[in-house]
Each structure stands twice: as C-alpha cells, then as structure tokens.
Amino acid sequence: MPNLSHPSFLFVLAFLFFSSIFLYNTYKLWFRTESYYRDLYASLNRSPSIYPFRDFFLGLMKNRKRWELFQKIFSIAGLIAVLAADMLVINAWMTTK
C-alpha cells in the first residue's frame, strides 16, 4: 500500500508541471494581456467549437475591462493557492518517514 504522506518523485514532477502551466498562463495574463485575450477569444470563436459553454464565456469577454479585472483577481487567488500547494507537495516529498 502506498504511503500517501510521502508522494513519489513522479507525482511531484507531474504536480510541478501542471503548476508551471498555470504560472505561464498567469504570466501571459499579467504581462501579455493583449495577445492572451486575442488568443483566447479566437479559440472560442473557432468553428466547430468543442467548448460546451462557449456562448457564456464569449458573453463574459465582451466587456474586456471587467473580464481583465475578474481574471486578475482570480489569478492572484490561484497564484497563492498554487504556490502553497507546491510548497506542501515538495515538503511532503522531502520529508522522510
């Protein structure tokens, strides 16, 4: 039976990989906002769409300033959560039995 309080190195690497994806998207949101917005808007407008709530998200993006504000507020909360989770996972991995 695996010890859940001591994650494997592979789990830690996968966790950090997905954290880096979030951090990269946060970077694009804060420092490359124009291209991030255009890329996201273009991907939602592509046909045929695979996104089930496409119209909902496009509606949110119509007011760009409000969209940016909410995205940046969520990104700050997400950044804190992701960094805290990264520290917890790394600490659990480094801690020995």
The mean pLDDT of 34-60, rounded to a whole number, is 87
User: Alpha helix locations (H) across the chain?
Assistant: 9-31, 33-45, 54-61, 64-94
Q: Which residues contact 22 (CB under 8 A, 6 or more apart)?
A: 78, 82
Domain that holds residue 29: 9-37+63-94
* pLDDT higher than 90, residue 96: no
Question: What is the model's pLDDT at position 44?
Answer: 87
Question: What is the model's pLDDT at position 1?
Answer: 56
**Per the structure, how many domains does the chain have?**
1
27 falls in which pLDDT band (50, 70, 90)? very high
Residue 55 in domain:
no
Q: Is 0.95 surpassed by the pTM of this model? A: no
Looking at the chain, the whole-number percentage of residues with pLDDT higher than 70 is 93
Residue 69 in domain:
yes
Q: What SS3 string covers 24-48?
A: HHHHHHHHCHHHHHHHHHHHHHCCC
Residue 50 in domain:
no
